[in-house]
Amino acid sequence: MSDIILMNHTCSSMTVISNQFIDMYFPIAPSEAIKIYLLLLRYAGASQSITLDMLSKKANETEETVYSSLSYWEQCGLLHLTKDQGQRILSMQLLPLSQQPSPSPKSSLSQQQKEESTSNIFSHSLPEKRSVAPAQMEHHPSSQALSQLVFVTETYFGRPLTHTDTNTLFYIYDSLKFSYELLEYLIEYCAEIDKKNLRYLEKVAIAWYESGITTVEQAKASTKNYNKTYNSIMKSFGLSGRNFGRVEMDFIDKWTNNYGFPLSIILEACDRTLKAIHQPSFQYADRILSDWHKSGAKTMEEITKLDSVHNSTKKQERKTTTVQKTSAPNKFHNFEQRSYDYQALEQRFINKINGINMDKK
């Protein structure tokens, strides 16, 4: 990628951050975007040319994250990007801060964009989890609601909660800002799928938080789709009619959340697994999906192209192997042939038996 020229006029020996930026944008901007903005200020102050790759390495983020961060600041009105028809950034310019922050990009998202925001890097930054002493919980304004949630959890999970368990509930309720109704539904959902432990409950809560789920209705829609995915994969492997194992769920979470594969692609990998080894194997399917993910294939059309390249390479390898075998020297045919006088050999054998040494004559 060619260098991007960043235009600004600041002192090159230090990076100046406006108090206005700290007051108005810092509290609401995603952490990834803040890192990128600070790097922009740094490079602008030094009058250096930059690339997405440079920003990516400096911020320890992917180029996709860098690109999204730049777009975020453009929507906030702090950055002007010049792009070509292929949406490749040609140049950028830092803009003065306005007296009032521009609306957060999320506030102007279309419904489709809101649905896609679950995988967007600008999801909520996760609050830090801390240990809270029992006395602090008792004097907390939400202590009564928390006590009721502890009772609900113990009822559904069939055991008393430890202090660590109670801390987890407090974290979800107080830090993740789950409503009483949403957290109660989460507890009920975990009990329903037989995942009666607070560690799993917290994992789901964080996933909902990062996806922007704030109502029971949204949570029900999410779990319905979640269960449909799990059930379809298990059915494809012939494993329906039983609960999911933790390892299996981790694999499916990886394929859907980390890799972002649609259900149809995951089922294709499951089908290929059965055809290849004639038994269900999440590990084998994971190798297939990991290869597709590394190659950037997300659709059946792209996967078909990968298959074509793979088959062509295999065909060429087989052809090369056949030629090498054909042209290899045959040791049997290259063995030096000898001719023998069988009558003379017979006479020598008779003479040896009779004690006659013909060599002395």
Sheet holding 89-94, edge to edge: 5-7, 89-94, 79-83
CA distances in angstroms from 164 to 11, 93, 150, 258, listed in the order given: 50, 49, 12, 28
Q: Which of 133, 218, 216, 126 is nearest to 172 (CA)?
A: 126
**Long-range pairs of 67-71 with CB within 8 A, sequence gap ≥ 24:** 68/32, 68/120, 68/121, 68/122, 69/30, 69/32, 69/33, 69/35, 69/36, 69/37, 69/121, 70/36
Tens place of pLDDT for every residue, the chain, 361 residues?
Answer: 445 545 444 445 677 788 888 888 887 888 888 988 898 888 776 656 677 778 888 888 887 788 888 888 888 888 888 876 666 776 778 887 754 455 445 433 333 333 343 333 334 467 888 888 888 888 888 889 999 999 999 999 999 999 999 999 999 999 999 999 999 999 999 998 788 999 989 988 998 888 888 999 999 888 877 777 888 888 888 886 666 666 787 788 789 877 888 889 999 999 999 999 999 899 999 999 999 989 888 899 999 988 888 888 877 777 777 666 666 555 555 555 555 566 676 667 667 666 666 555 5
- The Cα 53–Cα 191 span in angstroms is 46
- Give the pTM: 0.42
Q: State residue 117's pLDDT score.
A: 37
Tens of pLDDT, residues 13-30 = 677 788 888 888 887 888
Instruction: Give the CA distances from residue 262 to residues 192, 228, 250, 280, 314, in Å, rounded to whole numbers and listed in that order.
Output: 25, 12, 16, 20, 28
Q: How many CB atoms lie within 10 A of CB 205?
A: 25
**93 three-state secondary structure:** strand
pLDDT score recorded for residue 221: 84
Q: What is the pLDDT of residue 287?
A: 92
- Report CA torsion sign: 26, 31, 37, 41: positive
How many beta carbons lie within 10 A of that of residue 334, not counting itself?
Answer: 7
| Nearest C-alpha neighbor of 172 from the set 223, 222, 132, 118 | 132
* The token pair that represents 246 in the structure block: 């933790």
**What is the tens place of the pLDDT at every residue in 303-324?**
998 888 888 887 777 777 766 6
pLDDT score for 311: 84
Contacts of 10 (CB under 8 A, 6+ apart): 16, 41, 44, 45
Q: Which residues contact 194 (CB under 8 A, 6 or more apart)?
A: 243
Q: What is the pLDDT at residue 62?
A: 80
CB count within 10 Å of CB 234 equals 19
Whether 154 and 161 have beta carbons less than 8 Å apart is answered as yes
Q: Cα 293–294–300 angle (5° rounding)?
A: 40
Q: 241-253: per-residue pLDDT in tens?
A: 666 666 787 788 7
| Residue in 83, 125, 117, 77 with CA at minimum distance from that of residue 97 | 77
Q: What is the pLDDT of residue 224?
A: 78
Percentage, residues of the chain above pLDDT 90: 22
Alpha helix (H) residue ranges in 195-245: 198-211, 216-236
- Would you state the pLDDT for residue 96? 76
Angstrom distances, CA of residue 14 to CA of 40, 58, 292: 13, 17, 44
Ranges of H-type helices in 237-299: 246-253, 263-277, 282-295
pLDDT (0 to 100) of residue 286: 93
